[in-house]
Structure 1
Amino acid sequence: MVQFDSALLYLALSALFSGVFIYKLIKNKVKIENASVCSLLSLFMLGIVCLYVVSGRFGLTLFIGACVLYYISIPVRQMLSTQGKAVLITGCDSGLGHALAKHLDERGVLVFAGVLDKDGPGALELSRVCSSKLSLVQLDVTNSSEIKTVYDEVKSRVQDAGLWGIVHNAGVLGYVADGELLPISVYKQCMDVNFIGAVEVTKMLMPLLRKSKGRLVTISSMAGHTPIPGFAPYAASKAALSMFSAVMRQDLLKWGVKVAAIHPSGFKTNIFGSQEHWSSQDQNILDNIMPEVKDDYGEDYLATLKDLHHQMFTFSSSDLSPVLEDVCHALLSTNPYSSYTPGTCAYLIPCLFRYFPLWVYDNFAKLTFHIHRNILPRSLRISQTHSKAD
C-alpha cells in the first residue's frame, strides 16, 4: 500500500513537472532537439530508480531536485536589440539568402547582401523592396578579389563597431546521381562554393567579426551529417562545412564570437536549379561517362536521373520561415544554440542514422529519398535474372 501511494505521488509530481516543462518549452519556442532529450529520458529513469531503489524522503528529494535543475537548464528566449548590428549574407540573389536579407532588413539590421549579379532580378528586387540601409555587394565566394573588395566596403561602413554577423548561405547542389556517375567537375564545384568559399570569406572578414564579438552562422544541410543516396558531392562539401563550423566554434570561444550551424531539411530554393540545368547535366553525364560504366548501369537507369529534379522539388517545403527563425535566433539570441535543424524530420532522420542499425536507416533512406527505388542498374538485373534461372 505504501509502495502504491509512493507511485501515485511520483506520478503526480511527474505530471506536474511535465506541464511546467511543456509550458516553458512552448513559451520560449524551444525545439525538442534543444531541450536536451537525453536529460529528459535520464530524468524519467531517475524517477523510477528513486521510487523502487532509493525510496523514502531522500529519493523524493533527489527526484524533485533533478526536475528543478532540468527546468532551470531549459533555454530562455532573450533576444538582443538589432540597433547598430551589421550582417553579411552570401548568396542573396534568390531563395533563402534573398528571403533572409529582406527579413533582417525589416527587423532593422544593417544588411550587406552578397549577390552574384548586382544587376540581376534578385538584386534589383532587394533594392526596390528593402530599406535604404541595405547594401548590395558583388560577391562570388569563389573570387578572392571580390571577397577582398567586400571586406574593404564593409570595413569602411561599420568602422569601429565591427561586423556583427556573417551568414554563409551561398551554395550549389550540382546534380543528384550515383557517386560513380557524377563528373569530377561537380565535386569540385560543390567544394569550391559550399566549403572553400565559406572558409575564405570567414578568414577575410573575421577581424571585423572579432571586433564586435559577433556571430558566425553557416547554412549547412541535413545531408552534412546524414548520408543521402545520390548526394555524394553536395553531402561531402556540407560535411566539411559543418566540421569547419564546429572547430571554429571552439577556436573563437576565447574571442567571444559565437558560432552556429543550421542543418535544414528540404526547402524549395534555387539550389535545385532549373529543369533546363538538370537536363544539361544529365546530358553531360551521358556524354562523358566511360562506355563500360554506361553499359553496366544501362540507359534506362540513367534516364531516371532526370526525374529526380521534379521529385525533390515536389517533396520540399515552400515555407522558409523555420529556417529564417533559426538564423535570426542564431544571430540575435543572447544564448544561441550551436546547431539548428529546421524543417520536416531534420532532427529525427539524423537520429535514425546515428542510433539505429545501419540496415534500418539504409532501407528508410531508399524508401524516403526516392533514389531509384524501382530499378536496378542493367548488369545487376541481368545477374539476378541468371541467378533465378539457375
Structure 2
Amino acid sequence: MWVYLAVLVGLYYLLRWQRERQVVSHLRDKYVFITGCDSGFGNLLARQLDLRGLRVLAACLTEQGAQQLRKQTSDRLETVLLDVTKTESVAAAKEWVKERVGDRGLWGLVNNAGISVISAPNEWLTKQDFVKILDVNLLGMVDVTLQLLPLVRKTGRVVNVSSVMGRVSLFGGGYCLSKYGVEAFSDSLRRELSYFGVKVAMIEPGFFKTNVTKPEAISQGYKTAWNQASPEIKDLYGDTFLALCEKAVCSMETSCNQDLSLVTDCMEHALTSCHPRTRYSPGWDAKLFYLPMSYLPTFLVDLMIYYGAPRPAKAL
C-alpha cells in the first residue's frame, strides 16, 4: 500500500513540476511594474527581469536609488519616483505607466514596497507608529493595486509580497498586522479577479537579509518606542527586558538568509509561468518552521514563542 501511495505522490509532483515549467510566450513584449526597487527584493527582481528581456517599470522612493538601478540595467528598464503613502504620487505613477504600456496593458504588478520599523511590544507604541507601517505595507499596496487594476485586468497578473509574519505574529507593532492584511486582501482579490482571468500570487518569505530586517534600524526602533513609553510601562518591563530584546535583534542577522534570489525566483515564476502558484514560501525557515507552526494549536504556538523569549521584570 505504501509503495502505491509513494508512486502517486511522486507522480503528482512530477506532473506539477512539468506543468509549472510552462513559460508564457512573448515575454519581451510584456511590461512589469515593481514597487520598492531602491534595494532588496525589488531591486534584484528589476535587474533579474531586465536580464530576462521583460520591459521593467521600476518604482523607487529616491532619485539616488533610481539612478543606481539604471546604471546596473539595460535601456529597456525605466524608473519612476513613487511614495506609496501619497495618493497623488500613486496617481502620477499610474499615468506614467499608462503612457508606456498603451493598449497592451500591464502584464505584471509586483507590490513589494515595505518597512518594518517601529516594531516593539504593542503598549510601548502609539497609534501613529502603527499607521506609519500600515500606510506603506498595506494601504499603500491597496492604493497602487486599485489604481493600476484597469491596466492589469487587460492581460496581466498581480504579485503581492507578504511574509511568514502574515501567518504567525511573533512580535508587536504594525508589521505583522500589515502582513495579515496583505494575506486577506490578496485572497479576496484573487477570487474577484479570477472571473477575468487575472492571477494573484502571494510571496511569503522567511527571514532574509534586507533593509526590512536590518538590526540597527530595528534596534533603534525598540529604543524609540521605549523612550516614548510611560514611566509605568518602563517599570513593568524593566531595562533588562529592553537589553535582551536588542540582543535578540542583533543575533537575528546571523540567521537571516542572504540569498535573495530564492525570493525573486519565486516572483519571476509567478510572473512568467503559465501556471503560477497561489502562494510561494521561499526559505527553509518558512517551509519547515513558520508555515507548519501556523497550523498548530494556539497553545503550542504560544509555548514555542514564549520559550527563551525575554520576560518583563514584573511578569506573573
TM category (shorter chain) comes to over 0.9
1:313 deviates by 1.8
Q: Secondary structure at the match of 1:252?
A: helix
Structure 2 residue matching 1:346: 3-state secondary structure: helix
Q: 1:215 aligns with which of 152, 157, 165?
A: 157
Structure 2 runs not aligned, ≥5 long: none
- Work out whether residues 139 and 146 of structure 1, in 8 Å CA contact, stay in contact via their aligned partners in 2: yes
- Pair 366,79 (structure 1): closer, same or farther in 2 beyond 3 Å: farther
Q: Structure 1: any 5+ residue segments left out of the alignment?
A: 1-9, 29-74, 368-372, 384-390
Q: 1:176, 1:308 within 8 Å by CA — same for their partners in 2?
A: no
Change (3 A) 1:357 1:131: same
Native 8 Å contact 2:124 2:226 kept in 1: no
- Which residue of 2 is the match for residue 340 of structure 1? 280
Per the TM alignment, residue 22 of structure 1 is displaced from its structure 2 partner at its CA by 5.5
Judge which range, 198-207 or 168-177, deviates more.
168-177
- The residue that corresponds to 1:324 in the other structure is 264
Residues 1-390 of structure 1: pairs in structure 2 closer than 5 A: 10=1, 13-14=4-5, 16-17=7-8, 20-21=11-12, 23-24=14-15, 28=18, 75-81=19-25, 82-118=27-63, 120=64, 122-212=65-155, 214-228=156-170, 230-273=171-214, 275=216, 277-367=217-307, 373=308, 375-380=310-315
Give, in angstroms, the shift of residue 180 of structure 1. 1.7
Q: Distance in 2 between matches of 1:95 and 1:379?
A: 39
Q: Distance in 2 between matches of 1:278 and 1:12?
A: 50
Q: Considering only aligned residues, what root-mean-square deviation do their CA atoms show, in Å?
A: 2.1
For the Cα contact (< 8 Å) 2:124–2:228, is it kept in 1? no
Check the 8 A contact 2:37/2:43 in 1, yes or no. Answer: yes
Tell me, yes or no, if the aligned pair for 1:95 and 1:270 is still in contact at 8 Å. Answer: yes
Between the aligned partners of 1:154 and 1:19, the Cα distance in structure 2 is: 44
Aligned to 1:71: none
The total of aligned residue pairs comes to 315
Contact 1:114 1:138 in 2 (8 A): yes
TM-score scaled by length of structure 1? 0.75
Over 3 Å counting, the alpha-carbon distance change for 1:351 and 1:138 in structure 2 is: closer
Instruction: Write out the 4+ residue segments of structure 1 that deviate beyond 6 Å after TM superposition.
Output: none
Larger radius of gyration: 1
Cα deviation, 1:268-314, whole Å, max 9, x if unaligned, reads: 11112461x34542332232111111111111112223223322222
Q: Percent identity?
A: 37
Q: TM-score, normalised by structure 2?
A: 0.92
In the TM superposition, residue 21 of structure 1 has moved relative to its aligned partner by 4.7
Task: Specify the code of the residue in structure 2 equivalent to 1:195.
Answer: L
Q: Aligned equivalents of 2:191 and 2:48: distance in 1?
A: 29
- Residues 44-99 of structure 1 show CA distances to partners (whole Å, capped at 9, x for unaligned) of xxxxxxxxxxxxxxxxxxxxxxxxxxxxxxx4421113121101100000011110
Residues 332-368 of structure 1, C-alpha deviation per residue, up to 9 Å, x if partnerless? 111111111111231343553344332222222344x
1:187: Cα distance to partner?
0.8
State how far apart, in whole Å, the 1-side matches of 2:312 and 2:105 are.
55
- The 2-side partners of 1:22 and 1:130 are apart by 36
The 1:280–1:331 alpha-carbon spacing in structure 2 relative to 1, beyond 3 Å, is: same
Q: Is the 8 A contact 2:120 2:221 kept in 1?
A: no
Query: How far apart, CA to CA, are the structure 1 residues paired with 2:206 and 2:232?
Result: 36
User: What is the CA–CA distance in structure 2 between the aligned matches of 1:181 and 1:226, rounded to whole Å?
Assistant: 21
Tell me the amino acid that sits aligned with residue 61 of structure 2: L
Question: Per-residue CA shift, 1:97-154, capped at 9, x if unaligned?
Answer: 1101001111011111110112x1x322211110101011101101112111111111
Question: 2 CA distance for matches of 1:145 and 1:23?
Answer: 48
User: Relative to 1, partners in 2 of residues 1:96 and 1:12: Cα closer, same or farther, differing over 3 Å?
Assistant: closer
Shift of the 273–350 alpha-carbon distance from structure 1 to 2, 3 Å rule, reads closer
Alpha-carbon distance between aligned partners in 2 of 1:345 and 1:92, rounded to the nearest angstrom: 25
Secondary structure in structure 1 of the residue aligned to 2:311: coil
